[in-house]
Amino acid sequence: MYDPDDGPHHRREAVSPEAGIDEHQIEGALRPRALDEFVGQERVREQLSLVLDSARRRGRAPDHILMSGGPGLGKTTLAMIIAAELGAPLRITSGPAIERSGDLAAVLSTLQEGEVLFLDEIHRMARPAEEMLYVAMEDFRVDVVVGKGPGATAIPLDIAPFTLVGATTRAGMLPAPLRDRFGFTAHMDFYTPEELERILHRSAGLLGAPLDDDAAREIAGRSRGTPRIANRLLRRVRDYAEVRGGGAMDLENARAALDLYEVDALGLDRLDRAILDVLLHRFRGGPVGLSTLAVSVGEEAETVEVVAEPFLVRSGFLARTPRGRVATPMAWQHMGLTPPPDAAFGAAAAAGGGAPASP
């Protein structure tokens, strides 16, 4: 843990690059390895601990587990912790990689007894594979179809009991039959600034880069309630401190680094501000349709909807209405602009006021 009595020369010696290690390896090294090390999500941790303890006492694989929540909140990390706590192997795949039922059958048929299968983005799995998964989760069996047409035969194949850990950022897209087969569903919430500060101090210690309390508070405040973003910003502050800041991970260098990387005081990044800028200047605050907004900022509609919108809506800058996206008074204020007299805000637009939405 950082000692505030350390002088600047001590801090500079501690800040050292990880030679030959890429960003993905660094991110993996910062992941907690046990539930006791995991910061935040207290209710989920308590519930999950009970599920795992009960399974260990019975000597059986725990029920299947579904985790939902935004990107970067710790779903993958918890899947790794589940396997570690059970002392079981972990197999990792994703929904988009399962294009056919045969792809899923190949994975399931090679699982060892008690193995944990982590299926990320489970809502993007192909429908035929999804239907095969129903039977596998409930009866630990897959039906392999041999042949085609009228002569096709389904051969039942038993598979070893396993635990599926599914992760999704869009739980509403999962069909009810699939959701019902999970014995425990965990919803991952965004983290408080205090929790992010604890994560940042832990990560800084692992990186050998002691962090001032004020700097940790500044980074946490710009991290959108997301540990992945907090750790990424921490590494950029560390880079700035090494190259331009005399090695000190202090408030001054933290602010300078975050300003350089276009992350403002409230956590808005380049894409967030581009969306607000287009919405305010070109469409007079909206309403405007998602696809038109996405084209205007040069991004895919899914990127705008999944990456930027949740934060903008949660922070009070944007409102979703039946007629399109609408900027709030807070958005006008944050961008230093005065709304025109006929600007449509969230409630008015929802009631049918304002200009027609673009497609």
Is 321 a residue of the active site?
no
Please name the amino acid found at residue 247: G
Q: Considering its fold, how many domains does the chain have in total?
A: 3
Give burial (CB, 10 Å; 0-12/13-18/19+) of 247.
buried
Instruction: Look up the domain containing 210 and give its range.
Output: 191-260
Is 75 a residue of the active site?
yes
Tokens 């069909």 — which residue?
175
Q: Is the pLDDT of residue 348 over 60?
A: no
- What's the CATH number where 225 sits? 1.10.8.60
Residue 347's pLDDT is 44
The answer to whether the CB of 38 falls within 8 A of the CB of 77 is: yes
Residue 166 neighbours by CB under 8 Å, 6+ apart: 64, 65, 66, 67, 119, 122, 182
Same domain (yes/no): 211, 312: no
Same domain (yes/no): 315, 328: yes
Is 185 a residue of the active site?
no
Q: Is the peptide bond before 287 cis (omega within 30 degrees of 0)?
A: yes
Window from 98-102, 120-124, 297-301 with minimum mean pLDDT? 98-102
Residue 228: band (very low, low, confident or very high) from pLDDT cuts 50, 70, 90: very high
- What's the CATH number where 166 sits? 3.40.50.300
How confident is the model over 168-173, as a mean pLDDT? Answer: 86
**Is residue 27 domain-resident?**
no
Same domain (yes/no): 237, 146: no
31 is in an annotated binding site: yes
**Is residue 26 domain-resident?**
no
Same domain (yes/no): 172, 307: no
Is 148 a residue of the active site?
no
**Is residue 100 domain-resident?**
yes
Same domain (yes/no): 218, 248: yes
147 is in an annotated binding site: no
Same domain (yes/no): 56, 109: yes
Is 228 a residue of the active site?
yes
Residue 23: band (very low, low, confident or very high) from pLDDT cuts 50, 70, 90: low
How confident is the model over 270-289, as a mean pLDDT? Answer: 89
How confident is the model over 141-156, as a mean pLDDT? Answer: 67
Question: How far are the Cα atoms of 172, 296, 330, 348, 349 from residue 345, in angstroms, in the given order?
Answer: 27, 20, 10, 6, 6
Residue 154's pLDDT is 66
The answer to whether the CB of 209 falls within 8 A of the CB of 14 is: yes
Within the chain, strands assigned E span 65-68, 90-94, 116-120, 141-146, 153-158, 163-168, 184-187, 318-321, 324-327
What is the per-residue pLDDT across 38-72, written as a single tens digit (0 to 9) for each? 998 999 999 999 999 998 888 888 899 999 998 88
How confident is the model over 315-327, as a mean pLDDT? Answer: 90
Catalytic residue chosen out of the listed positions 76, 163, 226, 328: 76
